[in-house]
Amino acid sequence: MKMQLWMKDFFGLWYPPVCVGCDSTLSTGEKVLCTSCLSSLPLTDFHKGNDQLLRDLFFARIEIEYATSLFYYEKIGTVQQMMHQLKYGGQEYISDYLGTWLSSELNESLSFQDIDLVIPVPVHEKRLKTRGYNQVSGFGKALAVGLGARFRESVITKTRNTIKQAQLNQSQRIDERKSPYKLTEAVAEGSHILLVDDVVTTGTTLVLCARELLKIPDVKISIATMAIAV
Ligand SMILES: [Zn+2]
């Protein structure tokens, strides 16, 4: 990435003056992504009606109220580039940017309007140290602000550092009965919780976190992710 002065938008988000998708210099009015990369993004629009793909992933595993992902994840392309920069390139602002984007979309939808609490999928302490941040926190905070909900970071803790599910083959995948996630803070009974993550692939991480949250009486779970791998 070219070294230039970062820019600040109306909401106080700092971002570099180059497109995160293609590294070209941003023009006036462009933010984070250039117009060309922005128009190429594969939006799912799940929250505008058809969320069956995501519902099918959780069917018979956990009960969910609403579920959405902002984009389809492609192995090559702008979404992959954004996720890579967010997770491995220190570009934390991408998290906030995508959360603000999704929250404005959700505010036009009838669903997601009664969320009380937004909780990010936790990362293990070790990974938090190397990365310096939970890549989903900014996304969750921006969604909480937009939906008028609270954001709480440490309700669930990851007690073991595990290999990413997507990198394992079917027989190696984590046994859903041996969860590395633990509920570590109290949450009010009957809360409607929005659980957020970056890319949903097998859904196992979200299922395991949701099962911890479902130990709280009468909670409802909804899910929002930046992208869904198909
Ligand atoms: Zn671009």
Dist. CA 223 → ligand 1 center (Å)? 28
Dist. CA 179 → ligand 1 center (Å)? 39
Q: What percent of the chain has pLDDT over 90?
A: 75
Residue 8 and residue 116 in one domain: no
pLDDT (0 to 100) of residue 165:
53
pLDDT (0 to 100) of residue 164:
60
Dist. CA 26 → ligand 1 center (Å)? 8
Residue 18 and residue 109 in one domain: no
pLDDT tens, residue by residue, 2-55? 456 788 887 778 888 899 999 999 998 899 999 999 999 999 999 998 899 999
Residue 80 and residue 46 in one domain: yes
Residue 188 and residue 212 in one domain: yes
Residue 90 and residue 110 in one domain: yes
Rounded-to-integer distance, Cα 152 and Cα 121, Å: 11
In sequence order, the 6+-apart residues with CB closer than 8 A to the CB of 52 are none
pLDDT (0 to 100) of residue 49:
86
Six token digits for residue 23: 């590294």
Dist. CA 39 → ligand 1 center (Å)? 9
User: Which contacts (CB < 8 Å, 24+ apart) does range 166-170 have?
Assistant: 166/201, 166/202, 166/229
Residue 129 and residue 76 in one domain: yes
Dist. CA 31 → ligand 1 center (Å)? 10
pLDDT (0 to 100) of residue 138:
97
The mean of the pLDDT values for the chain is 90
The CATH number that applies at residue 132 is 3.40.50.2020
Dist. CA 32 → ligand 1 center (Å)? 9
Which residue range(s) make up the domain with 192?
Answer: 42-229
Dist. CA 78 → ligand 1 center (Å)? 8
Residue 113 and residue 16 in one domain: no
Looking at the DSSP assignment, which residues form a beta bridge with residue 25? Answer: 18
pLDDT tens, residue by residue, 105-120? 999 988 999 999 999 9
Residue 75 and residue 168 in one domain: yes
Indicate if the pLDDT at residue 69 is higher than 60.
yes
How many folded domains does the chain comprise?
2
Dist. CA 22 → ligand 1 center (Å)? 4
Q: Which helix (H) or strand (E) holds 143?
A: helix 137-147
Residue 105 and residue 62 in one domain: yes
Residue 12 and residue 109 in one domain: no
Residue 169 and residue 69 in one domain: yes
pLDDT tens, residue by residue, 130-182? 999 999 999 999 999 999 999 999 999 999 877 665 555 555 555 666 789 99
Under the banding of pLDDT at 50, 70 and 90, the label for residue 230 is confident
Residue 88 and residue 101 in one domain: yes
Dist. CA 79 → ligand 1 center (Å)? 11
